[in-house]
Each structure stands twice: as C-alpha cells, then as structure tokens.
Amino acid sequence: GNFTVRRKPVEGLGLACEGRYSHGNASFSLADFGLFSALAYESKASMPRVLEHYFPGWWVYHSRIADDNDRTESKDWTTFYEFSDPENSTSVIAIRGTDSTLDVLSDINIWLTAALLQGFEYFGPWMMSSVSQAVDSWSKRVRGPEETDDHFSELIQWVHMRAASAKGKRHFYITGHSLGGGLAKLATLDLTMPAITFMAPGVGRTWYGISGHPTDKTVVSSLSRRVVTVQPSHDYVSRIDVQLGTVVPTRCGADDPVTCHSIYKAGICPILQMCGSMRRTDLVLPCGQCPDMCS
C-alpha cells in the first residue's frame, strides 16, 4: 500500500526542512533530491512511471547506463541520468550509487588514498603533510596504470559539456547516493554546480588525486560552499574521507550500518517524517520504502 505525507509548517525545524534550491517559480527540498537520487536505481521499464509520480511533467533528457555484462573499451562504469523540468530550464543529474560488484571495486579504488590517509591520522595530524603525497603516489601504483578518473570519465565529460553549452541560462544540480554522491562531488571539482548528496563519502583528501591542480585551495573553497551531504547516524560510508561543505545529520533508528545507508530508510523517510512533504501539495509514497511511517 501507499501512505500520504502531508504538508506542514517547517519554520524553526532547521536546514533539513527549511533548505531550498530554486528552479523557476518553484523550489527543491532536500527530500526532493533524495528522490532524484533514488530514481537513479530504477529500471528502464519503471523509470517513466516513477519519475512522473514524484515529479509530474519531468522527463529523461539523457541517460548513461553501465552494463557489467556488455563492457566496451570504456573503463567508465557509471550509471547516471539527466532529468529535465517541463519548462526545459532546469536539470538534475542523478548518479547511481553502489549497485554491483563492479561498483564496489571501483568505490574502493577511488577512495583508497583517502582510506590510507585516514589510517595515518591515528598516529597524529603531524604526519599528514609529510605523507600525503607519498601515500597518493603509492596508492596509484597499487591501483595500477589506469587513472582514477577513467572510471567516471564519461560522467565528467557530460557534466562539463552540459554546463558549458548552457552558458548560464539553465539551472543545473547534481545529486547521488553513496558512491554516486561521492562522484557528484568529484565530477564538479572545477564547476559551480551545487551537489546535494546522501550517505556519500567525503572528498577532502580524494580530490587531491583527481584534480590536475592538487595545491589549488580554491577547489576546497568551492566545494565547501556548494556541497551538501546528508549523513545519518551509524552510516559508515559518509564517514570515509573528510567531508567538505555542509553536513546535514539525520537520525537512523536502526543500529546496523546497512539500514543506515539506505537512501529511503535513513535519508528520505526521516526527513519527510520530520518536515512533511515540503511541497505545495501532499506526497504519496509506497509503504515498503518507509515502513515506520505506515504503522
């Protein structure tokens, strides 16, 4: 069955409820971006129906779907969608998170340097400046000859091409859950595109190995201004690396890291439960996604 999330006043409930991102005469809430991130997991058959349900009139402008069983010469394993609003003036690029063995391996590959540096921090912050370059160099040798950004090169090319072609006349947002959120941050290192992510690893150290200008402090400054990460309690993935930008905590009622990494149970549902629909109308969701709100 389904359940209805009613509208309710959000004044005084904090950033999770009051944060808004404009598009035309309307605005997005954090929960809206959570739903866009969840849409990236939909099948080709279900996508039109679910997209129309949550965002009437929106359509898929572009999609890139990786297939483990049909690999081309490209090393890029990302799956992402660009959704357009009915007025064709706003786009949301949503990147699928860890959804296969291939994704998991690439996840480890990209964040290897950060994980190693995180381990060194236990010996004290005095080690960081002296070992960061050495660890980055060593982890690249461990990964092999491939460049890290080869794994999401088509995503980077698409995001940069779209941003350049719009010439400031179109609103762009990028979002993603888990690994998808981490890639949303990395794909926009030298852009001004807002990145709204869920349970995503940080990029405070990882950007060092991705950027062509690893000493450029403006990258950190830019990410800090425009990146948002929703971070549930007991979620481990969003505690990998250093988070830059705004961190919005949510409460996960479960104690296990799997449930607390779920885009619905630990991200969308707690926000809707606290904030209501945050739309001009009520919002209808399946009970299976937010069972605690159906009881």
Query: For 59-88, how does the pLDDT look when each residue is reduced to its tens digit (9 = 90+)?
Result: 999 999 987 545 555 667 789 999 999 999
Domain span at 9: 2-241+263-294
In a domain, 32, yes or no: yes
Contact predicate 192/110, CB 8 Å = no
- In a domain, residue 247? The reply is no
Q: Is 252 a domain residue?
A: no
As for how many domains the chain has, the answer is 1
Q: Tens digit of pLDDT for each residue in 159-216?
A: 999 999 988 889 999 999 998 999 999 888 888 899 999 999 998 877 766 665 555 6
- Lowest model confidence (mean pLDDT) among 35-49, 80-94, 105-119, 195-209: 105-119
CA distance 114 to 241: 5
Is residue 253 in some structural domain? no
- Residue 290 resides in a domain: yes
* Closest by CA position to 264, among listed 139, 189, 165, 177: 177
Q: Are 60 and 82 in contact (CB under 8 A)?
A: yes
Is residue 86 situated within a structural domain?
A: yes
- Average pLDDT, integer, range 261-282: 95
Other C-beta atoms within 10 Å of 60: how many? 14
In a domain, 204, yes or no: yes
3-state secondary structure of 148: helix
Closest CA to 205 of 113, 278, 135: 113
Q: Residue 98 domain-assigned?
A: yes
> Residue 59's closest CA among 36, 41, 82?
82
Task: Report the predicted TM-score, pTM, of the whole model to 2 decimal places.
Answer: 0.85
By the 8 A CB rule, do 254 and 237 touch? no
204: CATH: 3.40.50
Computed from CA positions of residues 18, 19, 22, 23, in that sequence, does the dihedral angle turn out positive or negative? Answer: negative
Residue type, 271: I
CA angle 284, 285, 287 (to 5 degrees): 130
Looking at residue 4, its amino acid is T
